[in-house]
Amino acid sequence: MTTPYAHPSLARIVDLLGTSAARLLAAPAGCDNPVTGHSVLDVTEEEGQAHRGAILLAVGMRPDATALLDALPALGRAGAAAIALKTRGADTGPLVEAATAAGIAVLAVADVIPWRHVDALLAAAAGNSGQDAPGFPSAAAVGDLFALANAVAAMVGGAITVEDPQQRVLAYSNLPGQPIDDARRDTILGRQVPLDDHYMRIYRRLWRAPGAVRIGDASPLARLAVAVRAGSELLGSIWAVESGTPFSPEAEQALTEAAGVAALHLLRLRRATELERRARGELLRSLLAGRTPPVARFGIDSGRMTVLALELPASSGAPADVLGLQVADLVTACAETLTASASCVVEGQVVYALLPLPEDVPQARVASLAETVITRSEESLHTRLRAGIGSAVADFADVPRSRMEADRVLAVLAGEPHRAHVASIEDVRCQAILLELEETIADNPRIRLASVTAMLNHDAERGTRYAETLLAYLDAFGDTTVAADRLHIHQNTFRYRIRRVGELFGVDLGDADERLVLWLQLRLLVSEGRAAPTVVGPHQVPGRD
């Protein structure tokens, strides 16, 4: 049975266009009403059925144009969905007020986008509204990019690749008879341009250029490249490989014009990617928090999977949300050699990745992936990350546990800067347990020994070192010689303090259970600086503290 075509809502049209293309200034009737199509507004035309549910393009009209404001009541009666226009810095207050009274939405189109491109974007948004849930036109947009690459290759006379701002290959031409070199072949096979300083200098030169740029130092065959932009926003680039003879000025012009067309496709593709990432991110966020989302939408079945957590630096020169998305993209790209179904979400200063693990992939491969991400992040983003890896779990219900373990690993790495930047929960299991116990003691004072509390207070008030001394004694298994050497004090001073510990605080060092609890609590509290011990001066002798 064929599913009847459903018109997209105004909200979906605006969502697909993206904020770089259009902004909604008013929606008095809400955003859920269907949009039946779009057409150019002719204010001299009588109101009719053709306007019902349509977005009307006010081409060449100012927001304060009298003819436009006068036409709004009739357009509202005709059931028009929205007016789309370019504000060009003019006051939109009267228009918004009049449109609100007429029940018509107002859509402000970016001034830099030609109206023919607006027409194509609206057609693309409406044409992709019927895709399967979650309804993203990724495949269509990518398919159009490949067709565009072939068309541009025919016009320019050289093989074409289309890249995003992270130098990932999105599409390429495959016309016969156009030579390519090893650099293009490797880039297509790896789907990524090498991120070294040489290539980054070339890209910086390209991004600054207003039009097509000739590049002869990237590989054996010379290139012609152009940046793809929407206004001042960089969307990607198009590269053409020379076919034995230098590109003509006509080829440069054709490539520059192709950038305008490619901007439409890249806007669609980027918006689709953003929507898909947002939807999968919300699913993953729910899963990590212990809620049970419709996990089938992840596209994976229950099985071995693990959580990788990457901590962003507190200050990196870039907003945390922007840097987080860049790292998430990096994880997704690097994870393709490990799994095809990685999902990422940014939570504050941490990027979480859920990694399904095929049966033949050992858990140790996740650490290698994390090392690769950290290396690439340093090279391309100039950012040093820390990575924590949770244990592999067999069911979605256990994913929150893997996430908690990954968080524990990050906490251990943050507290021990001498450690490597990547660790799994198995690498730091003991330290992670101690952290958890420390939190338990801090949150539940009732389980702290009264003798420990009294000892810490006595040290803080009188400048003594009983807690530190007892901890050293327990660490050395009661060997006073070793413990005294560690504290750099005389053995008689050390023995005196241990005796006073028993007298002042009622500590029974002959009880094995009490020794264990004393050692654990002192290890957690003193090592974290909570006892704030005061260093004893050389003038102090046994019997003075």
Indicate the helix (H) or strand (E) that contains 269: helix 249-288
Listed residue (161, 123, 154, 147) closest to 35, CA to CA: 123
Find, among 153, 205, 229, the residue nearest to 184 by Cα.
Answer: 153
Of 490, 510, 488, nearest in space to 501 by CA: 510
CATH architecture of 448-527: Orthogonal Bundle (1.10)
The β-bridge relationship of strands 82-85 and 105-109 is: parallel
Closest CA to 231 of 88, 60, 111: 111
Strand ordering across the sheet containing 169-172:
169-172, 160-163, 233-241, 223-230, 213-215
> CATH classification of 300-436 is 3.30.70.270, yes or no?
yes
Task: Give the domain ranges of the chain.
Answer: 10-127, 138-269, 300-436, 448-527
**Three state DSSP letters for 431-497:** HHHHHHHHHHHHHCHHHCCHHHHHHHHHHHHHCCCHHHHHHHHHHCCCCHHHHHHHHCCCHHHHHHH
**Complete edge-to-edge strand list for the sheet that includes strand 305-311:** 343-347, 350-356, 305-311, 386-389, 422-424
Q: At what angle do helices 450-462 and 466-475 cross, to 10 degrees?
A: 130
* CATH code given to domain 138-269: 3.30.450.40
Q: What is the DSSP letter of 415?
A: H
Cα–Cα nearest to 520, from 407, 512, 417, 535: 512
User: Tokens 């094995």 belong to which residue?
Assistant: 512
Residue 502 in contact with residue 509, Cβ under 8 Å? Answer: yes
CA–CA gap between residue 451 and residue 430 (Å, rounded): 25
Residues facing 240 on adjacent strands: 160, 224
CA distance 76 to 292: 44
H or E segment at 424?
Answer: strand 422-424
Closest CA to 147 of 132, 178, 155: 155
Nearest partner of 47 among 77, 83, 82, 85, judged by Cα: 77
Both tokens of 288, joined, read 């990590």
Radius of gyration for the alpha carbons in the chain, expressed in angstroms and rounded: 33
Rounded to two decimals, the pTM is 0.50
Q: Report which secondary-structure segment, H or E, holds 82.
A: strand 82-85
- Note the pLDDT of residue 540: 35
CA-to-CA separations, 136 to 125, 430, 482, in angstroms, rounded: 10, 45, 67
How far is Cα 92 from Cα 108, in angstroms, rounded to an integer? 9
CB 87 within 8 A of CB 63: yes
Residue 336: strand, helix, or coil: helix
Residue with tokens 């006509």: 250
CA distance 217 to 238: 17
Query: Please, which residues bridge with residue 347 across strands?
Result: 350
For residue 359, how many other CB atoms are within 10 A of its CB?
A: 6
Q: Tell which CATH architecture fits domain 10-127.
A: 3-Layer(aba) Sandwich (3.40)
Q: Could you tell me the end-to-end alpha-carbon distance of the chain, in angstroms, rounded to an integer? A: 90
Among residues 137, 142, 169, 148, the alpha carbon closest in space to that of 274 is found at 137
Per DSSP, 376 falls in state H
Contact 496, 540 (CB under 8 A): no
From first to last of its 545 residues, the chain has per-residue pLDDT tens of: 333 345 778 887 887 666 656 789 999 988 888 888 888 888 776 655 567 888 999 988 999 899 999 999 999 988 999 999 999 889 999 999 999 999 999 999 887 676 766 776 676 566 544 433 333 334 344 446 787 788 888 888 888 889 888 778 888 888 877 877 777 777 776 666 766 677 778 888 888 888 888 887 656 678 899 998 877 778 889 999 887 778 888 888 888 888 877 887 787 776 666 666 666 777 788 888 887 655 555 555 556 889 999 998 876 555 566 678 778 888 887 887 777 678 888 888 899 999 988 877 888 889 999 998 898 888 777 788 999 999 999 888 889 999 999 999 999 998 887 778 899 999 998 888 888 887 777 777 778 888 988 999 999 999 999 999 999 999 899 899 999 999 999 999 999 999 999 999 999 988 988 888 888 888 877 754 444 333 333 333 333 34
> Is the distance from CB of 387 to CB of 308 less than 8 angstroms?
yes
Tokens representing residue 198 in the block:
């040489």
User: 194 preceded by cis ω (within 30°)?
Assistant: no
